[in-house]
Amino acid sequence: MIGVLALQGGFIEHINTLNKLGIDSFEIRKLSDLENKQIDGLILPGGESTVIGKLLRETGLFAPIKEMIDSGVPVFGTCAGMILLANKLENDPSVYFGAIDITVKRNAFGRQLGSFHTVEEFQSIGSVPMTFIRAPYISEASDVVEILAASKGNIVAARQRNVLVTSFHPELTGDLSVHKYFLSQVCGKT
């Protein structure tokens, strides 16, 4: 079962995508949502990273989710989720989960009006439609990070062990390939 953080942002689109793939999922809004669940993976959706970070602490969810990620539970972060998982932010002193050895630049592609859609190559998948909304990108990645995709010369998808991140929103395109990649390659589900 995949838990989808549902404090703010585009969580329902991830749940709808998982439903299309026949994967059971549930919303994580409060501590009790984590009780008595066999969690095979987590999704941290897009939204506003500062707000999500604040809500994670206010609800008491930050520590147990960090513990799950640190213990190896597969996690997929899109846009704001990528910011929450990065171990460094280029233009912000905040660090949240620090789960992937990357530096992320927030709002790197510009404001809302700078949002765009493109198709780029994604390693092991092929051409993938990508929707960017006030998107960050990865400005630096250590040697232990696998670079999976780039757009406009910037890294927009990467993986390190149990952590997959994208600066784009695959849940908004109707294409299921990036979620399939997460389920098969990161979670080990077939």
Nearest-5° angle of CA 156, CA 159, CA 164?
80
Active site residue 140: no
Catalytic residue, chosen from 13, 14, 171, 187, is 171
Long-range contacts of 139-148 (CB under 8 A, 24+ apart): 139/90, 139/103, 139/104, 139/105, 139/108, 140/88, 140/102, 140/103, 141/101, 141/102, 141/103, 142/101, 142/102, 144/101, 145/100, 145/101, 145/102, 147/123, 148/122, 148/123, 148/124
- E strands of 90-170, at which residues? 100-105, 116-122, 126-132, 137-141, 146-151, 154-160, 163-166
169 is catalytic: yes
List the catalytic residue out of 13, 79, 179, 187: 79
121 in catalytic set? no
**Which of 13, 169, 179, 187 is the catalytic position?**
169
Name which of 105, 112, 145, 144 is nearest 131 in CA terms.
Answer: 112
What residues are annotated to the active site? 79, 169, 171
